[in-house]
Amino acid sequence: MRQGWHVLDPGVELEWNWHHQAICDHAQAVFADWKRAKTEFDFVQRIRNFLVNVPPGTAKSRIISVFFPPWVWLPENWPAFRFLCISGTPDVVVRDAGACKQLIEDPWFQENFKPTWKILASDQAKTRFANTAGGRRMSKGMTAKVTGLRADGIIVDDPHDMKDMSDVKREAVVVGWRDGWRNRLNDLRVSFRIGICQRGHEADWSAAFLEGQQAVHLNLPQEYGASICRCPTCTAGETPLGWSDPRRELGFRPESAYGPASGGKVLHPVRFPPKVLADELANGAFYYATQHNQAPAPPEGGIVKKAWLRYADMDQLPARFDRLVDSVDAATKAKDHERGSNTSMLLWGEKGPCKYLIDNVTGPELDLDYVLLVLRLRRRGLVVARPDVLAKLEDGGDALRLWAAARKPTARPDLPEGIITPAWWAGRGKIGATLVEDTVMGSSVCDTLAKELTDVVRMKPRESGGKGGGDDKVTRLMATQPSFQAHNVILLRGAPWLEGYVHELTVFPNGAKDDQVDATSQFLNWAKGSDAFMSAMRWKR
């Protein structure tokens, strides 16, 4: 690459950096292991799935999509190798296919490497070409139809169009990969996959790639420590080649500010001096976090800042709340569960302007019976302390449900000790409302809860586009910012749900989950009587 850079970018200096070398070394190792596995049956490949997350403008596409295929086709390597190159941006597909072909046909390549094959004139197009040795470089869009193509290696370069990371577009890319392109390989035992891109969301293509197979991850944020990844490679701190980020010796600075003020070690200081980083940061904190630091949100938080959150110990909580309110966000349809949505039941306590998050039951596959059980027990000042044990009971907890539903229950059902325990907040207030979103799909949940509970409030988010703006999830949470900024939202220090709640709240809207966020904004907007964002039916006492 260093020798052939002038072919494609004459007059532009290649400012070689350690990250270029790291990407090249790992790509070569991927191919070397594949080649050896083709001839040694019992050889175990070190890297079969390789992901690189790195900022734009770092020559990632040049290395993997343009220079790597011709290198593999060298006579001493494997001229018959077949590549399938995929991207979410049509322009990238055409650009890199053309650049790769231009490099191969240039006199510099022909004279220095003397390939024993030629580009096949009868099999050429803007997005594909083949050589006379049987090698082929094919290109497709990420959401294109899978039409029987297979390859020895798949390269995915920028699977998302980062200008449009809407849920629909993002999920279409992930589904297209999982259900289609992922296994379009000639030999599932040894063929490899390589991905290069930025992180745009916690549930983006990179997340699917890391979850779907044993992947080696080269995570290269602009500022070391700004991206916290918990995949096996990042947790270990080094790749199977023994490589680790050379900035590691400077230590983690995940809490640092962005850009030149951070004092953190930048990925490529020559190419990204302070003035450039300051200009990039001016495009927005979310842009800088995802594009440069491979993080779904800025370290200080997204719409809700970490500094706005207030915490209290148990002995600092009010002896009596003005009112207790349940706020429920239910995963109501099969598609919700397929997408990994949770059901979230938050119990809030109000004391003057302060809103205390008292209890939080959030998880996948919480059916309506369990939701009703939790809500009924809360009204009796009880909580399910061991849901794992409850789920294993022979009767599925039916006796407990009947007992919780009774208006005047007698003796408590015979349960193993510790499953149901008194709530710490018992006696500090009465639950006066249960907020449930009343959408087209959620109406059945509202109907069911309303039959069982007398305090259900049907929440009807305003339709988007009306006077005063839309009412999507982002707009709803933004409407609660004054409450957070005034430090009127208070969380229980040491609560078992605290870390997950704060993470989901502060990375929104780029987090993998948003159910606790929805339940939070639903309550806070209702509590302040903001009918510019919510309207609710009058509830019966």
Which token pair is 277?
């980083």
Q: Which residues of the chain have pLDDT under 70?
A: 212, 250-264, 332-340, 365, 394-396, 439-442, 461-471, 530-541
Nearest CA to 193 out of 175, 174, 214 is that of: 214
Output 329-336 pairs: Cβ under 8 A, ≥24 positions apart: 329/437, 329/515, 329/516, 329/518, 329/519, 329/522, 330/368, 330/371, 330/436, 330/437, 330/442, 330/445, 331/364, 331/366, 331/515, 332/441, 332/442, 332/444, 332/445, 333/441
Cis ω before 509 (30° cut-off from 0): yes
Give the tokens for residue 163.
């200008």
> 124-142 burial string, b = 16+ CB within 10 Å, else e?
eeebbbbbebebbbbbbbb
CA 87 to chain centre: 19
Q: Find the length of the chain.
A: 541
CA–CA distance, 136 with 119 (Å, rounded to integer): 9
Which contiguous run of DSSP H or E holds residue 383?
strand 382-384
3-state secondary structure of 310: strand
| CA neighbor of 297 nearest in space, from 287, 305, 289 | 289
Q: Which amino acid belongs to residue 280?
A: E
Give the CATH architecture of domain 17-253.
3-Layer(aba) Sandwich (3.40)
What one-character-per-residue DSSP string does 141-159 give? ETTSPP-S--BSEEEEE--
Domain segments of the chain: what residues? 17-253, 306-381+423-536
Strands (E), 475-518: 489-492
234-265 confidence digits (pLDDT tens): 999 999 999 999 998 765 444 443 444 344 58
84 phi and psi angles, rounded to 5 deg: -120, 115
What sections of 202-351 are H helices per DSSP? 205-212, 232-236, 274-281, 285-287, 334-338
Pair of tokens at residue 496: 């078992």
Instruction: Tell me the pLDDT tens digit for each residue of 419-429.
Output: 888 999 999 99
The first and second tokens of residue 167, run together, are 């849920």
How far, in Å, CA of 36 to CA of 281, rounded? Answer: 45
Distance of CA 509 to the CA centre of its chain: 10
Closest alpha carbon to 82 in 204, 192, 169: 192
Angstrom distance (rounded) from CA 257 to CA 263 = 9
3-state DSSP assignment of residue 311: strand
Can you tell me whether residue 11 is helix, strand or coil? coil
User: Which are the contacts of 25, defined by CB distance < 8 A and separation ≥ 6?
Assistant: 241, 243
> Do 251 and 262 form a contact (C-beta atoms < 8 A)?
no
Q: Which amino acid is at 299?
A: P
Close Cβ partners of 115 (under 8 Å, ≥ 6 residues apart): 73, 74, 75, 79, 104, 109, 131
pLDDT at position 465, please? 33
**Using CA of residue 72, residue 78, residue 80, residue 83, what is the dihedral sign?**
negative
Per-residue tokens: 318: 């009010």
The strand pairing partners of 431, in sequence order, are 324
Q: How far is CA 495 from CA 304, 358, 371, 448, in A?
A: 20, 9, 20, 30
Contact 498, 504 (CB under 8 A): no
User: Tell me, what DSSP letter sits at residue 292?
Assistant: I
| Sheet of 128-131, strands arranged across | 119-125, 128-131, 136-141, 82-87, 153-157, 192-197, 49-53, 216-219
Nearest 10 degrees: Cα torsion 360, 366, 368, 374: -30
Q: Which of 515, 503, 523, 539 is nearest to 355 (CA)?
A: 523
pLDDT value of residue 251 = 54
The CATH classification of domain 306-381+423-536, taken from the options 3.30.450.30, 3.30.420.240, 2.160.20.10, 3.30.720.120:
3.30.420.240
What DSSP state is assigned to residue 265? P
**Which tens digits make up the pLDDT trace of 331-385?**
765 445 455 688 999 999 999 999 999 999 999 868 888 888 899 899 989 998 8
Beta carbons of 354 and 488 less than 8 angstroms apart:
yes
